[in-house]
């Protein structure tokens, strides 16, 4: 741990702007799965209290956990919050008001789980670009077990439905008072599945070349930008690794990165949020440049960087280099919910993430409503949050 008495990492505390949204500093709370909504996907008062702690702790920007966007196939796991209807949006409005009262900005992350869905209150069907099963196995912390289901290959009509769902969710987020929306295009969820070569075997305009495989992500970005207006920041989260395959890399290396980041910038979005296991590590074997650096070079947009920036020296380094404009913290934020204030005032940081029991008090009826099989229900009446993409 650095000598925090002798350094204040001034660059982390400079103001900045993403789109038309002003931030008081360059430290963001990364999106982290909470599995803490009601069975109907409505955020609770406890979720509101959770986010407000980070706003009170000095984070300039908070990004929600992934919010499912429709009542069909987008939900990724039981007790995930959604933003699909007025009831969910109204509940989020109260959460947003609490965050704003504490002086932070708040972005909603919009997510379609695709074939990595492990629990859906509406259907057992999953959608993907092709009928290809994701690698790896479902995660027990998501109440899943065994291999993922083979998804239904999406039709052109279903692709249009997903585009419309992202737009509807973005408008609901705007109505709820969020300052921005982040489209989840990372970690092996639907938009990333279209980009991933082995998951996408299509031969139409959405398959084949990298230009075609990034097409759905660019369409969604452009749709959302057009729908919400200039006052609301719009961005996308991008990664190479996935929940089910964290070693994946783009086969074309920097050439693929150039195509992907240029295409995304052309949609009119305001920022790109890169997430890698280590933000400061080279993106590919044959280059010293990081994914965030490549995103900055080929997009020219504001960049949020996420991935093992626990040490404020590393966080300040990536800002000072001009590679990123904002750092997003996950585990270090859970361990230090006032991380910005501690760094600013030279207080020590804890390296330990506490056992953060925060889930809803789930009754048998709750689990039945959510459609969770008996074998996947927890032994106790509360369960832990999880720190995952």
Instruction: Evaluate whether 128 touches 190 at the Cβ level (below 8 Å).
Output: yes
Query: End-to-end distance of the chain based on CA atoms, in angstroms?
Result: 25
- Nearest to residue 79, comparing CAs of 143, 123, 13? 143
Say whether 298 is catalytic: no
CA distance 280 to 318: 8
Beta-carbon count within 10 A of 357 CB = 10
Distances (CA, A) of 325 to 55, 321, 322, 386: 19, 9, 7, 27
Structure tokens at 240: 């190479």
In three-state secondary structure terms, 151 is coil
Structure tokens at 345: 């005032």
Burial 5-17 (b: 16+ CB within 10 A, else e): eeeebebbbeebe
Structure tokens at 170: 């973005």
Query: Among the options 9, 50, 68, 189, which is catalytic?
Result: 189
In three-state secondary structure terms, 153 is strand
CA atoms within 13 A on the CB side of 179: 22
In three-state form (DSSP H/G/I as H, E/B as E, the rest C), the secondary structure along 12-76 is HHCCEEECCEEECCCEEECCCCCCCCCCCCCCCHHHHHHHHHHHHCCCCEEEEEEEECCCCCCCC
- Nearest to residue 235, comparing CAs of 162, 303, 325? 303
Crossing angle for the helix pair 156-175 and 86-101, to the nearest 10 degrees = 40
Kindly give, in sequence order, each residue whose CB lies less than 8 Å from that of residue 2, ignoring residues fewer than 6 positions away: 311, 312, 313
Q: Vertex 15, ends 13 and 17: CA angle to 5°?
A: 140
Active site residue ranges = 189
């Amino acid at each position: 741990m650095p000598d925090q008495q002798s350094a204040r990492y001034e660059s982390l505390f400079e103001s900045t702007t993403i789109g038309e949204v002003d931030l008081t500093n360059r430290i963001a709370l990364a999106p982290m799965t909470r599995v803490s909504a009601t069975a109907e996907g409505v955020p609770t008062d406890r979720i509101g209290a959770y986010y407000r702690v980070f706003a009170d702790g000095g984070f300039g920007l908070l990004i929600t956990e992934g919010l499912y966007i429709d009542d069909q196939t987008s939900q990724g796991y039981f007790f995930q919050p959604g933003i699909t209807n007025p009831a969910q949006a109204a509940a989020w409005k109260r959460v947003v008001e609490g965050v704003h009262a504490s002086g932070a900005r708040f972005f909603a992350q919009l997510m379609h789980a695709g074939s990595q869905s492990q629990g859906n209150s509406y259907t057992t069907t999953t959608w993907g670009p092709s009928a290809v099963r994701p690698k790896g196995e479902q995660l027990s912390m998501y109440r899943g077990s065994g291999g993922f289901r083979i998804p239904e290959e999406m039709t052109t009509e279903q692709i249009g439905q997903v585009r419309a769902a992202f737009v509807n969710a973005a408008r609901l987020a705007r109505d709820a008072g969020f300052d921005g929306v982040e489209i989840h295009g990372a970690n092996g969820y639907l938009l990333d599945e279209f980009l991933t070569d082995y998951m996408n075997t299509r031969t139409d305009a959405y398959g084949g070349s990298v230009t075609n495989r990034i097409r759905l992500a660019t369409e969604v970005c452009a749709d959302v930008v057009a729908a919400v207006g200039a006052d609301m920041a719009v961005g996308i989260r991008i990664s190479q690794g996935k929940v089910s395959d964290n070693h994946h890399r783009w086969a074309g290396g920097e050439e693929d990165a150039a195509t992907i980041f240029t295409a995304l910038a052309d949609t009119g979005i305001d920022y790109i949020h890169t997430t890698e296991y280590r933000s400061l590590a080279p993106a590919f074997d044959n280059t010293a440049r990081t994914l965030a650096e490549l995103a900055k070079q080929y997009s020219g947009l504001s960049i949020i960087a996420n991935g093992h920036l626990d040490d404020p020296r590393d966080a300040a380094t990536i800002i000072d280099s001009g590679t990123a404009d904002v750092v997003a913290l996950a585990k270090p934020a859970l361990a230090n919910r006032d991380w910005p204030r501690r760094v600013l005032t030279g207080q020590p940081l804890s390296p330990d993430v506490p056992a953060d029991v925060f889930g809803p008090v789930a009754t048998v009826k709750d689990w039945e409503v959510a459609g969770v099989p008996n074998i996947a229900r927890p032994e106790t009446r509360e369960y832990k949050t999880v720190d995952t993409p």
